[in-house]
A and B are shown apart, each in its own frame.
Chain A
Amino acid sequence: MSNFVDYNADKDGLLRFVLGLADDSVVLGHRLSEWCSYAPYLEEDLALGNVALDYVGRARMLFQYAAELEGQGRSEDDLAYLRDERQYTNLLIHELPKGDFAFSMMRQFFVDVFYVLYLDKLTASKDERIAAIAAKAIKESRYHLKRSEPWIIQLAQGTDESRQRVLTAIDELKDFIGELFEMPQWEQALAEQGIAVDRKALQKDWDNHVQQFLAQSEIEFGDSQLQIRGGRFGVHTEHLGHMLSEMQFVQRAYPGMQW
């Protein structure tokens, strides 16, 4: 078990919470950055790179805070580049490979809807630092949603091929939605203190928004349910390790190297 996240849930709840959010952001940011030079056309390449930048920026703010909370002298870079797969605590939807363009945009739409609901509540956190990060991030996520929604419409109502890819992406993603609304015990405790947000309470709104939006393209989407979980406890899909081996390569091969 020693490879698993070793923070004591009671004592280090806040650290675990902040680190989980940081991991969500850095992992999705990296997945988006994988589109650099592979997007369907140049403008889309730039757009995906910029969304990636927003997430990596968000991750930096959270890692800096986590490093301070931990107080072991580790830096934001140490937390991002020197922790193994089992020590990463991101929710699984963020780590799935980028897939085709329809898959990446579908995931983006799903998480954008989530973050617009979630960060809005998090701006009221009693932890000032978390509230400030959320206030910054919510503006970006609202903008991301303004971008992912038209894409889903265009793809779902485009050609037979693009529609089929959208439907396939939904099938591949739907089992990873439920985990977004899971409350591990340390987060539950923080929510009761007004520091974290009750994710479960957002699920109905998320379902409604997604169902109504997809209905415009005559796609039926049932209520989200918990199917797969593990991310917050360091248990991942097979994909994260491969991703980290690439993301962390430089720091592992040349420890302490700087740009």
Chain B
Amino acid sequence: MAEQLIPTVAPAFAQRRKHRNDSAHQQLWDILDEVCDPELPGLTIWDLGVLQDVKREGDAVEVVITPTYSGCPAVETMSDDVVSALNKAGFSEVKVTVALSPAWGSDMISPKGKAHLATIKIAPPVDTDQPNCPVCGSSNTFTISQFGSTACKALHQCRDCFETFDYFKRI
């Protein structure tokens, strides 16, 4: 594979970023940057790609999120956290809508989100589905199981340092 000289982002993320930058409600997006996935410490719902849209009409705020996987049990916790973050910032009328479309994909994760995954020792999604070990960096890894501790992760192991690690699935 040729070395990538110009850093690019996936179109799915570029589209989200543009939507956020064009939004008239920067303050609301920024408040929501404190809401994280309950299973992925420190990863915000914006960086994960779950946060899709923020709308405001008068005092009423509507936040649109999309679940990573259909059965993801974290959706309810994230909805509650969105409401309490906005309540705390003085917005009392908050509605969270769970939209199915556009369907979430790992391309929606921000570059910052991918970097963060690596720091919490979860290998971020890669096109080859052959992740490097997040502990020692070795490419000599194999799949133990296509599913790990949650629906969004697979379980891999490193043959060099023997660490067992989660891989954030590419879908």
Contact = CB atoms under 8 A, between A and B. Distances in A.
Interface of A: 43-44, 46-47, 49-58, 60-61, 128-129, 131-133, 135-137, 139-140, 142-143, 146-147
B77 interface: no
A177 to B, nearest CB: 25
Contacts of B31: none
Chain B at the A interface: SS class? loop
A141 to B, nearest CB: 11
Contact of A143 (B67, B101, B146): B146
A139 B103 contact: yes
B144 A43 contact: yes
Interface in B67-97: 67, 69-73
Contact of B145 (A47, A55, A131, A132): A47
Nearest to A53: B71
B70 A50 contact: no
Interface stretch (B21-29, B111-119, B148-156): B148-156
Contacts of A143: 146, 169, 171
Interface string B129-171: 0000000000000001111111100010000000000000101
Given A47-B145, A135-B102, 14 more contacts: A43-B145, A43-B147, A46-B149, A47-B147, A50-B150, A52-B71, A53-B71, A53-B73, A128-B101, A129-B100, A133-B100, A136-B103, A143-B169, A146-B146
A50 B151 contact: yes
Give the interface residue-count category, chain B. Answer: 20 to 34
Nearest to B151: A50
B156 to A, nearest CB: 11
B103 A61 contact: no
A133 B169 CA distance: 20
A157 B17 CA distance: 48
B105 interface: yes
16 contacts: A46-B145, A46-B155, A50-B147, A50-B151, A51-B147, A54-B69, A54-B71, A57-B72, A58-B70, A60-B70, A129-B100, A135-B100, A135-B101, A136-B100, A143-B169, A147-B147
A160 to B, nearest CB: 26
Contacts of A54: 69-71, 151
A228 to B, nearest CB: 29
Closest 6 pairs (CB-CB, A-B): A57-B71, A57-B70, A53-B71, A43-B145, A132-B101, A47-B147
A46 B70 contact: no
Contacts of B146: 47, 143, 146-147
B128 to A, nearest CB: 14
Contacts of A52: 71
A257 to B, nearest CB: 18
Given A43-B155, A56-B71, A61 B100 contact: yes
A63 to B, nearest CB: 12
